[in-house]
């Protein structure tokens, strides 16, 4: 964990692992699990996060090692549910559920580009 993953409002010089950073690490762990175990044969496929339900239960100082765990607990078509947890050297610091949706990158980009165009037209009036 690095300094850019800390909170900045508790006290001067604090170095506490932030909740958004923990969630980001959990999401990336799930993404890489899908990519390495199921999607590695085709680079046009990846996944995006769709649901996050996470509890951040303990503070962790910068410099501590963290271990992230992810387990696939459900699959419904291209929707994949995970049980996730994170611990430092002393205790569990977070746990919960995360859901990802498997996407075809070129099709996703095509839909996204269309939305960007529509939003641009909307903003121009």
Q: Is residue 3 among the annotated active site residues?
A: no
Per annotation, catalytic residue among 25, 27, 29, 87: 27
* Residue 80 region by backbone torsions, left for phi larger than 0, else alpha for psi between -120 and 50, else beta: beta
Q: pLDDT at position 125, please?
A: 78
Tokens describing residue 111 = 């839909």
Q: Is residue 56 among the annotated active site residues?
A: yes
Helix, strand, coil % over all residues of the chain, rounded to 5: 35, 40, 30
Q: Summarize pLDDT for 47-100 with one digit per residue, the tens.
A: 999 999 999 999 988 778 999 999 999 999 999 999 999 999 999 999 999 999
Per annotation, catalytic residue among 14, 19, 44, 57: 19
Q: Is residue 19 among the annotated active site residues?
A: yes
Per annotation, catalytic residue among 6, 7, 56, 99: 56
Whole-number Å distance between alpha carbons of 85 and 94: 5
Q: Summarize pLDDT for 2-60 with one digit per residue, the tens.
A: 445 555 555 565 678 889 999 999 999 999 999 988 777 788 999 999 999 999 999 98
């Amino acid at each position: 964990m690095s300094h850019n993953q800390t909170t900045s409002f508790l006290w001067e010089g604090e170095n506490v692992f932030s909740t958004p950073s923990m969630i980001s690490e959990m999401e990336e762990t799930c993404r890489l699990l899908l990519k390495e175990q199921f999607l590695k044969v085709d680079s046009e496929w990846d996944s995006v996060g769709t649901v996050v339900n996470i509890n951040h239960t303990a503070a962790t100082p910068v410099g501590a090692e963290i271990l992230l765990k992810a387990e696939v607990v459900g699959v419904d078509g291209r929707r994949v549910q995970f049980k996730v947890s994170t611990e430092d050297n002393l205790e569990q610091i977070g746990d919960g559920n995360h859901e990802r949706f498997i996407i075809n990158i070129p099709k996703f980009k095509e839909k996204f580009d269309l939305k960007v165009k529509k939003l641009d037209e909307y903003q121009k009036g």
